[in-house]
Structure 1
């Protein structure tokens, strides 16, 4: 059984002064403070959320 790919998403930008939908996307990814990281399953929805706020997050593939 193949392991599912994972992404490490780290918040590098502040949501201050950003539109509500970008703030909500950060919360949806489980991020709420600068330099916090989450390891999430690599799915199209997570990729889309990261693409929407690419200027606020750093995305790395986790080799597990």
Structure 2
């Protein structure tokens, strides 16, 4: 399966608790933090919930 690189580009301050927990579950802690994950439907769904806070690269 393909890997995707997820980078947090905006602060989680002001976001809902659900969005903060989603960022934490993805492994993102700070702005400009980057993680790599397999492109599973679960990960894609999590990214969709916080798409306004992150950038995704294939």
Band the TM-score falls in, shorter-chain normalisation: over 0.9
> TM (normalized to structure 2)?
0.97
Q: Which residue of 1 aligns with 2:55?
A: 58
Aligned to 2:17: 20
Higher-Rg structure is 1
Runs of 4+ in 1 over 2 A off after TM superposition: none
Q: Give the TM-score taking structure 1 as reference length.
A: 0.88
Greater helix share, structure number: 2
Structure 2 unaligned residues grouped into runs of 5+: none
Aligned length: 58
